[in-house]
Amino acid sequence: MCGIVGYVGKRPAVEILLAGLKRLEYRGYDSAGVAFFREEKIEIHKSEGKLENVEKLLNGRAPAYQDVCCGIGHTRWATHGKPTTQNAHPHRTGHVVLVHNGIIENYQEIKREIISKGYRPESETDSELFGFLVLEQMDRGASLMEAVRQSFARLQGACSVVIMSEREPNVVIGVRNGSPLVAAADPAGGTILASDAQPLLQFTRDVVFLEHGDIVLGTEKGLRFFELETGKPVARASSRLDWSVEKLDKQGFPHYMLKEIYEQPTALMDTLNGFLDRARTDSFPLAASQPGVALLEKAREITLVACGSSWHAASLGKYWLEKWARVPVTVELASEYRYRDPVLGANALLIGISQSGETADTLAVIREARKQGIPTIGITNVRGSTLSREADATFFTFAGPEIGVAATKTFLAQMLGLLIFSGFLSLKRDGWHAGSLVSLDSVSRLFEDMIRIPHLLSDFLGNGSSATGLAGVIRKIAAELASAKGFFFIGRGYSFPVALEGALKLKEIAYVHAEGYAAGELKHGPIAMIDREMVVVVLAPRDQWRDKTVSNLQEVKARGAIILGIGNASDEELIGLCDHWIELPSVKVDESLVPFFLTPVIQLLSYELALLHGTDVDKPRNLAKSVTVE
């Protein structure tokens, strides 16, 4: 996820920007840069790759920058355009220089307009286009603040921007319109801004989390807030961050599990970076450094083997691989499969999925397959794990360390890995696929949507503190459901494996009885359990299965169940059937990606119910993070 830092004040700005960007490195990025005032002119230094490349550009000249006191910096994670130096931020358009985090959804329309007016964008990014809008307004006489406000009104999508102009030296303006931005007054005089609070903590613990639709004006004298829409000044209270070392470890979250749920956008982004050759956004190849590519390409049937949550990820993988790649897939519980006598074809591939890479049953299957000469791939989050040493090839997910026992971010990263495999195999059109393949255009769109998912998920999750945000809504619902006798999670299609995961999460961390069911299966037995004390959580996004799921919901509604619906805005029929309602974001993405929004909802629901039941969320009883016994 892109990271932003801005500073104006009395201290050496270049050092502050670089130190701030270092603290944002954890968000994941593939290029970086800084821009700062030297007298009245703005200099930009940027590079593809890591921050060290920018440091090298500046190296040896540090004393020369001692008098610099105003600048902005950025770590970019590529969405529109490759991770090149040219696409790296900051971007200059005339006297305007900016950094941006998020997505401008109507960038095509803005690009056409800008070009028709004779401007020539130099990068492939959506971000640079915003600079032209601001430049145009300023050239018509608007102040930087006014120009930013008017230009922002043109944008669709969630983003934040930090911007400067050579016409107004030593002024930094920041806007939050969706993507987070935090600001603080430097006690020594000045202002610091960043995408999260970490770069600010070296100066102060009193920080202001900008609200959606806020604009902040930073000068050497301090900071002032305005409404983006009206330009009127607004008062914003600061929050005192009282972060102990342990809390810093948890980055302010009360539990690792919650922190890890909120790290999912980053886990997805890093996994995309790890799996794909991100320098090639035109054809979406798997990274050549991934040793399993050839094995994957040769597979004519795939068996996915796993346990627990990893098995749920595998179950989703089956839907995706079949749809996108038309390859026959079976999904197996490792503990069962290892004691069967399975039949595999000549060109079969066995993929073992395990976040820890140490699960005894999954490892046993891999060993047996290898003995029989069947090629094996591992998907794991842990480098050096047994799975990565024993499988013929390993794809690593990049979720980072997961401390909470319940799988959250590793689960989403596994899902993404399998969806990438599906898209990749769909692109390998060498004539053997079982049935007709989806169009190349739709596979390209799938990859483009995957690349947008970290941003979209981050916007959906918000920062967790607002009562009206996702976590707030779920907290309120959980309080009303805490004494329920039990839960059914139901869904069809892609929502079915998520329903299974929802029930598992609730059992393991809240110790509440729950079952996940294919919505169409309820009437074959479990519907007998439905009464007024039973909650049915229905996962019914607007997808090809939605109407069937809603029909199944009618069956449980008629029997008095308490219904919690998860679906899309304006689905009035569904909302009318539900006692409680959680809305998915209104974003246009391929329906294969909807599980990436559904999953955090069921994770947060289990988390909130666990808090109400007073369980040990991060270390639930009887469970271990690595299950090394069979």
Tell me if 264 contacts ligand F6R by CB under 6 A. Answer: no
Q: Which is nearer to ligand F6R, 165 or 362 (CB)?
A: 362
Identify whether 2 is a catalytic site residue: yes
Active-site residue (options: 2, 69, 70, 578): 2
Strands 580-584 and 534-539: unpaired
Which part of the chain contacts ligand F6R (CB under 6 A), choosing from 23-31, 121-129, 256-264, 306-314? 306-314
Selected binder of ligand F6R within 58, 201, 234, 627 (CB under 6 A): 627
Q: Which is nearer to ligand F6R, 87 or 362 (CB)?
A: 362
Tell me if 333 contacts ligand F6R by CB under 6 A. Answer: no
Q: Which is nearer to ligand F6R, 87 or 359 (CB)?
A: 359
The torsion region of residue 186 among left (phi > 0), alpha (psi -120 to 50) and beta comes to beta
- Number of residues written out for the chain: 630
Tell me how far, at minimum, the Cβ of 406 lies from ligand F6R, in Å: 4
Tell me if 388 contacts ligand F6R by CB under 6 A. Answer: no
Q: Which is nearer to ligand F6R, 405 or 530 (CB)?
A: 405
Contacts of 330 (CB under 8 A, 6+ apart): 301, 302, 303, 304, 318
Tell me if 386 contacts ligand F6R by CB under 6 A. Answer: no
Tell me if 308 contacts ligand F6R by CB under 6 A. Answer: yes
Amino acid at 408: T
Rounded distance between C-alpha atoms, residue 453 and residue 459, angstroms: 10
Which part of the chain contacts ligand F6R (CB under 6 A), choosing from 8-16, 235-243, 307-315, 551-559? 307-315
Which part of the chain contacts ligand F6R (CB under 6 A), choosing from 80-88, 92-100, 302-310, 548-556? 302-310
Tell me how far, at minimum, the Cβ of 396 lies from ligand F6R, in Å: 13
Tell me how far, at minimum, the Cβ of 504 lies from ligand F6R, in Å: 6
- Cβ atoms of 36 and 13 within 8 Å: the answer is yes
SS3 assignment, position 443: helix
Q: Which is nearer to ligand F6R, 54 or 261 (CB)?
A: 261
Tell me how far, at minimum, the Cβ of 240 lies from ligand F6R, in Å: 35
Tell me how far, at minimum, the Cβ of 497 lies from ligand F6R, in Å: 13
SS3 assignment, position 278: coil
Which tokens sit at 137?
Answer: 């307004």
Q: Which is nearer to ligand F6R, 226 or 496 (CB)?
A: 496
Selected binder of ligand F6R within 407, 425, 536, 574 (CB under 6 A): 407
Q: Which is nearer to ligand F6R, 313 or 561 (CB)?
A: 313
Interface positions, 341-360, toward ligand F6R (CB under 6 A): 354-356, 359
DSSP string covering 532-546? TTEEEEEE--SSTTH
User: Could you tell me how many residues of this chain bind ligand F6R (CB under 6 A)?
Assistant: 14
∠ CA 128-130-132, rounded to 5°: 80
Q: Look up residue 438 and give its DSSP letter.
A: P
Q: Which residue in the block uniquely carries the two structure tokens 């969320």?
A: 617
- Cβ atoms of 188 and 170 within 8 Å: the answer is no
Tell me if 160 contacts ligand F6R by CB under 6 A. Answer: no
540-to-63, 80, 569, 584, 625 alpha-carbon distances in Å: 60, 31, 11, 10, 31
DSSP string covering 401-414? ---SSS-SHHHHHH
Q: Which residue in the block uniquely carries the two structure tokens 């490759």?
A: 82
Selected binder of ligand F6R within 125, 160, 362, 426 (CB under 6 A): 362
Q: Which is nearer to ligand F6R, 360 or 612 (CB)?
A: 360
Tell me if 394 contacts ligand F6R by CB under 6 A. Answer: no
Tell me how far, at minimum, the Cβ of 501 lies from ligand F6R, in Å: 8
Selected binder of ligand F6R within 70, 307, 316, 566 (CB under 6 A): 307
Backbone φ, ψ for residue 622 (5° rounding): 70, 0
Q: Which is nearer to ligand F6R, 79 or 335 (CB)?
A: 335
Q: Which is nearer to ligand F6R, 165 or 354 (CB)?
A: 354
Active-site residue (options: 323, 428, 507, 625): 625
Q: Which is nearer to ligand F6R, 219 or 381 (CB)?
A: 381
Rounded distance between C-alpha atoms, residue 4 and residue 20, angstroms: 9
Selected binder of ligand F6R within 79, 125, 273, 310 (CB under 6 A): 310
The candidate with the shortest Cα–Cα distance to 550, out of 491, 499, 504, is 491
Tell me if 281 contacts ligand F6R by CB under 6 A. Answer: no
Which part of the chain contacts ligand F6R (CB under 6 A), choosing from 71-79, 115-123, 263-271, 301-309? 301-309
Contacts of 446 (CB under 8 A, 6+ apart): 324, 419, 423, 590, 592, 593
Tell me if 6 contacts ligand F6R by CB under 6 A. Answer: no
Mark 453-479 as b/e (b = at least 16 C-beta within 10 Å). Answer: bbbbbbbbbbebeeeebbbebbbebbe
Q: Which is nearer to ligand F6R, 97 or 509 (CB)?
A: 509
Identify whether 625 is a catalytic site residue: yes
CB-side exposure of 608: number of CA atoms within 13 Å?
20
Tell me how far, at minimum, the Cβ of 508 lies from ligand F6R, in Å: 6
Number of residue whose CB is nearest ligand F6R: 308
∠ CA 293-412-389, rounded to 5°: 45
SS3 assignment, position 10: coil
Rounded distance between C-alpha atoms, residue 113 and residue 108, angstroms: 9
Which part of the chain contacts ligand F6R (CB under 6 A), choosing from 145-153, 171-179, 303-311, 537-545? 303-311
Tell me if 603 contacts ligand F6R by CB under 6 A. Answer: no
Site mask for ligand F6R (CB under 6 A), range 473-512, x = bound:
-------------------------------x---x----
Strand blocks (E) in 355-482: 376-380, 393-396
Tell me if 79 contacts ligand F6R by CB under 6 A. Answer: no
The candidate with the shortest Cα–Cα distance to 469, out of 178, 193, 235, is 178
Which part of the chain contacts ligand F6R (CB under 6 A), choosing from 175-183, 286-294, 304-312, 316-324? 304-312
95-to-139, 165, 169, 272, 513 alpha-carbon distances in Å: 10, 5, 10, 35, 62
Rounded distance between C-alpha atoms, residue 306 and residue 314, angstroms: 7
- Cβ atoms of 161 and 100 within 8 Å: the answer is yes
Tell me how far, at minimum, the Cβ of 381 lies from ligand F6R, in Å: 8
- Helices and strands per DSSP (H, E), number in the chain: 20, 25
CB-side exposure of 310: number of CA atoms within 13 Å?
28
The torsion region of residue 391 among left (phi > 0), alpha (psi -120 to 50) and beta comes to beta
Selected binder of ligand F6R within 54, 208, 379, 406 (CB under 6 A): 406
Show which residues are catalytic. Answer: 2, 625
Residues at the interface with ligand F6R (CB under 6 A): 307-310, 354-356, 359, 362, 406-407, 504, 508, 627
